[in-house]
């Protein structure tokens, strides 16, 4: 390279990265003096930014078929690769525990959520309800390998001083320790615990910043963490565990009205439109059918206009939550570009489980006469649609829109149908050598993050940590898949297993065996071929007893390997008694509610005779 080339590169680098500028200046001097240019220092290890959307659905980003505008997240998809066969766990804290430990939930302390630990699981190792202190975490290992480690957002893995982010490997943090909260303040739903708990850099906060809004503040804090250490040359790992778009849907006013009236057409129409776009994009194969609309959800066509407008407004609020999240992701992306770190940053984007279809407000508030009901009525009393988004309001969009978020899959968060555990995944950055904007259908899982990111960072997983033996990692590295040297980290013989709240499933290749409580399930094993039937419309258990037997053996292996203890109590134990009986959903049935006024031929009309 001649002196002019070095000068051009140097001027571009001065504003971005001091060390890069110094290396280039050395080249300029070498050219001027006529001395050979020495080999440059080895390339800096990549930064890692993990962006987790809380309850973000498979079909909620534009690059996965949504009408919601997510240009910044879509830009990462355009620069990287989208994965369409990626699995999480069915709820928040179990997924997060696997992400940070690389170990199955039944070994890492989240065999059940702390909120639902059953009597027969209490006191059992692996069912502590927090991320077990016997685990080593991803940030601990990356920190030991020379990375800065930062966390912002929702933790949900323990509140005691030895369980908070600062105690589990995060050098800097600004974290919500609870499972949900107001986006404006520390308000919590439960009467016995009316304030949510936050930490900053290992200290419990007495109050929140004056201009606090969750998604904005998390982004502000992370940018500050990055800038504080930017010039020391060390790479960083940032765990960006946003609350959004988890309910309650709290939004600044300017974000609430970006889709007015757009969703009044109803959930069936939006789901059909999303599937059409998914097929056009290559996210789903041609011929894919939507899962049945859940039997207790009405056909929106038969709703009164006012009901459609109110339910549509709930989806407008959700869309605003996703777009606001995307905006703040864009702020982070732009900042990394400004400081010269974008090109050396791996981005990982995913949702932690299926979209939320349950009514959490009703679940926590309970029944009249209870403390929680009174507390909810007093502190969350802003129920008018005009106040939705304000402090003291609580709105969520319900099961009908959750199925839209999970297009084309069946069911939603909390269940082991595809709608509970199948999510979108975007990976971009220097580790990705596949064609930009490409799509991959390899079988991926959140349990793979630990081996993948350790390999990328040049770190390893030890057999012991601080004197204690560690369980083996259960995941598979994606490095070869990202490099384009393999299509999947798993063979046809490998399998994935899940259990939560007593629901259970196992997948091998295209086949999935599933057991769920009635009425979401049959209370017995069901078999699906996901390659032909991603919506789990047809149970093949009676037709393929041989395949049921094969997968049952894998389920037994999963139970034995991971010390799975099925709960003797479940949030779903009486569900079938509180829901209308499950019936098939057929378009246009029953005909009587769709029949329009009969109008006779005009020429045959007459007034009555005298």
pTM (two decimals) = 0.92
pLDDT at 44: 85
Does residue 402 contact residue 291 with C-beta atoms inside 8 Å?
A: no
The whole-chain average pLDDT of the chain stands at: 93
pLDDT of residue 470: 98
**Nearest-CA neighbor of 498 among 521, 514, 486?**
514
The C-alpha atoms of residue 123 and residue 27 are separated, in whole angstroms, by 63
Residue-wise pLDDT for 181-199, tens only, equals 999 999 999 999 999 999 9
CB 548 within 8 A of CB 513: yes
The 8-class DSSP code of residue 531 comes to T
Looking at residue 253, the DSSP 8-state letter turns out to be: G
CA distance 417 to 362: 23
Measured between alpha carbons, how far is 158 from 181 in angstroms, rounded to an integer?
Answer: 15
Q: How far apart are CA 197 and CA 201, in angstroms?
A: 14
The secondary structure of residue 267, as a DSSP letter, is H
Give helix 214-228 / helix 305-338 axis angle, nearest 10°: 10
The torsion region of residue 523 among left (phi > 0), alpha (psi -120 to 50) and beta comes to left
pLDDT at residue 162 tops 80: yes
Both tokens of residue 251?
Answer: 């939004």
Q: Whole-angstrom Cα distance, residue 574 to residue 572?
A: 6
Out of 3.40.720.10, 3.30.470.20, 3.40.710.10, 3.40.1410.10, the CATH code matching 45-492 is: 3.40.720.10
Pick the catalytic residue: 148, 156, 246, 422?
A: 156
User: Position of tokens 């992370």?
Assistant: 222
pLDDT tens figures, 82-98: 999 999 999 999 999 99
Q: Identify the band that residue 591 occupies on the pLDDT scale cut at 50, 70 and 90.
A: very high
Q: What's the order of all strands across the beta sheet hosting 511-515?
A: 495-500, 503-508, 511-515, 526-529
Residue 1 pLDDT > 50:
no
Supply the pLDDT for residue 381.
Answer: 94
Question: Long-range contact list for 37-44, CB < 8 A, 24+ apart?
Answer: 44/233, 44/235, 44/344
Q: Give the whole-angstrom CA distance, residue 283 versus residue 274.
A: 11
Q: CA 527 from chain center: how many Å?
A: 26
pLDDT for the residue 35 = 43
| Average pLDDT estimate for 594-605 | 94
Examine the pLDDT at 514 and tell me if it is beyond 90: yes
Of the candidates 118, 264, 129, 243, which has an alpha carbon nearest to the alpha carbon of residue 175? Answer: 243
Which residue is catalytic, options 92, 242, 250, 328? 92
Exposed/middle/buried for 331, CB within 10 Å: 0-12, 13-18, 19+?
middle
pLDDT band per the 50, 70, 90 thresholds, residue 110: very high
118-127, 159-168, 579-588: least confidently modelled range: 579-588
With bands split at pLDDT 50, 70 and 90, how would you rate the model's confidence at 23?
very low
Residue 246 confidence (pLDDT) above 80: yes
Q: What is the DSSP letter of 195?
A: B
pLDDT above 50 (res 234)? yes
156 as an active site residue: the answer is: yes
> Tell me: the pLDDT tens digits for 286-323?
999 999 999 999 999 999 999 999 999 999 999 999 99
Higher-scoring residue by pLDDT: 24, 578: 578
148 assigned to active site: no
Q: Token pair of 408, please?
A: 């084309």
pLDDT tens-digit readout, 64-84: 999 999 999 999 999 999 999
Q: What is the 3-state secondary structure (H, E, C) of 170-184?
A: CCEEEEECCCCCCCC
Q: Name residue, tokens 């196992």.
A: 506
Tally Cβ neighbours within 10 Å of residue 34. Answer: 6
pLDDT at 42: 57
Mutual angle of helices 3-14 and 18-33, in 10-degree steps: 160
In this structure, are residues 44 and 344 in contact, taking their beta carbons and an 8 Å threshold?
yes
| C-alpha 430, offset from chain centre | 23
The DSSP call for residue 393 is -
Asked if residue 475 lies in contact with residue 447, where contact means CB atoms within 8 angstroms, the answer is yes
pLDDT at residue 490, as a whole number: 98
Handedness of CA 585, 590, 591, 592 (dihedral sign): negative
Write the DSSP string, 157-170: S--STTTSGGGGT-
pLDDT on residue 27: 46
Contacts 24+ apart (CB under 8 A), 458-461: 458/45, 458/145, 459/141, 459/142, 459/144, 459/145, 460/141, 461/102, 461/136, 461/141
- For CATH 3.40.720.10, the residue range(s) in the chain are 45-492
Question: For 241, which DSSP code?
Answer: E
pLDDT digits (tens, 9 = 90+) for 429-455: 999 999 999 999 999 999 999 999 999
pLDDT at 24 over 70: no
Residue 114 pLDDT exceeds 90: yes
Q: The dihedral of CA 259, 261, 264, 270: what is its sign?
A: negative
Q: What is the pLDDT of residues 373-407, one digit of tens each?
A: 999 999 999 999 999 999 999 999 999 999 999 99
**What pLDDT does residue 584 have?**
92
Question: How confident is the model over 332-356, as a mean pLDDT?
Answer: 98
């Amino acid at each position: 390279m001649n002196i002019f080339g070095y000068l051009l590169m140097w001027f571009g680098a001065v504003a971005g990265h001091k060390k890069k500028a110094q290396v280039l200046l050395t080249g300029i001097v070498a050219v001027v003096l006529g001395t050979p240019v020495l080999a440059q220092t080895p390339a800096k290890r990549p930064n890692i930014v993990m962006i987790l959307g809380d309850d973000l659905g498979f079909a909620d980003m534009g690059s996965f078929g949504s009408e919601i505008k997510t240009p910044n997240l879509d830009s990462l998809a355009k620069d990287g690769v989208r994965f369409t066969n990626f699995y999480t766990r069915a709820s928040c804290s179990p997924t997060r525990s696997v992400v940070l430990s690389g170990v199955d939930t039944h070994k890492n302390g989240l065999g059940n959520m702390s909120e639902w630990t059953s009597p027969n699981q209490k006191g059992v190792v692996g069912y502590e309800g927090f991320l077990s202190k016997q685990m080593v975490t991803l940030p601990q290992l990356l920190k030991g390998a020379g990375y800065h480690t930062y966390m912002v957002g929702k933790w949900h893995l323990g509140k005691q001083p030895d369980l908070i982010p600062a105690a589990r490997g995060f050098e800097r943090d600004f974290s919500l320790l609870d499972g949900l909260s107001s986006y404006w303040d520390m308000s919590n739903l439960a009467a016995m615990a009316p304030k949510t708990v936050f930490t900053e850099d290992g200290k419990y906060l007495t109050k929140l910043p004056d201009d606090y809004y969750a998604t904005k503040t998390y982004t502000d804090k992370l940018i500050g963490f990055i800038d504080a250490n930017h010039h020391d040359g060390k790479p960083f790992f940032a765990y960006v565990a946003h609350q959004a778009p988890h309910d309650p849907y709290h939004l600044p006013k300017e974000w609430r009205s970006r889709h007015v009236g757009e969703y009044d057409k109803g959930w069936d129409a939006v789901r059909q439109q999303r599937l059409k776009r998914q097929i056009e994009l290559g996210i789903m194969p041609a011929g894919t059918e939507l899962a049945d609309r859940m039997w207790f959800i009405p056909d929106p066509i038969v709703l009164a206009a006012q009901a459609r407008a109110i339910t549509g407004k709930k989806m407008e609020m959700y869309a605003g939550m996703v777009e606001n999240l995307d905006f703040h992701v864009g702020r982070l992306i732009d900042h990394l570009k400004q400081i010269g770190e974008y090109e050396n940053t791996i981005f990982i984007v995913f949702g932690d489980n299926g979209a939320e279809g349950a009514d959490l407000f009703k679940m926590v508030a309970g029944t009249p006469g209870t403390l929680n009901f009174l507390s909810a009525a007093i502190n969350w009393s802003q129920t008018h649609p005009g106040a939705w988004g304000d402090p003291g309001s609580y709105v969520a969009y319900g099961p009908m829109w959750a199925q839209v978020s999970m297009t084309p899959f069946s069911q939603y968060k909390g269940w082991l149908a595809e709608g509970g555990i199948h999510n979108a995944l975007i990976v971009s950055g220097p580790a990705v050598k596949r064609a930009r904007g490409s799509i991959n259908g390899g079988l991926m899982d959140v349990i793979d993050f630990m081996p993948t990111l350790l390999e990328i960072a040049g770190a390893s997983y030890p057999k012991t940590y601080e004197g204690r033996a560690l369980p083996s990692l259960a995941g598979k590295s994606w490095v070869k898949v990202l490099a384009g040297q393999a299509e999947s980290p798993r063979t046809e013989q490998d399998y994935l297993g899940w259990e939560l709240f007593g629901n259970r499933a196992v997948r091998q290749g295209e086949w999935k065996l599933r057991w769920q409580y009635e009425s979401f399930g049959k209370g017995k094993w069901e078999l699906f071929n996901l390659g032909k039937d991603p919506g789990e419309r047809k149970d093949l258990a009676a037709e393929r007893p041989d395949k049921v037997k094969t997968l049952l053996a894998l389920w037994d292996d999963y139970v034995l390997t991971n010390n799975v203890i099925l709960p003797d109590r479940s949030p779903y134990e009486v569900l079938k008694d509180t829901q209308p009986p499950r019936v098939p959903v057929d378009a246009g049935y029953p005909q009587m509610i769709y029949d329009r006024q009969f109008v006779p031929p005009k020429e045959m009309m007459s007034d009555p005779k005298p």
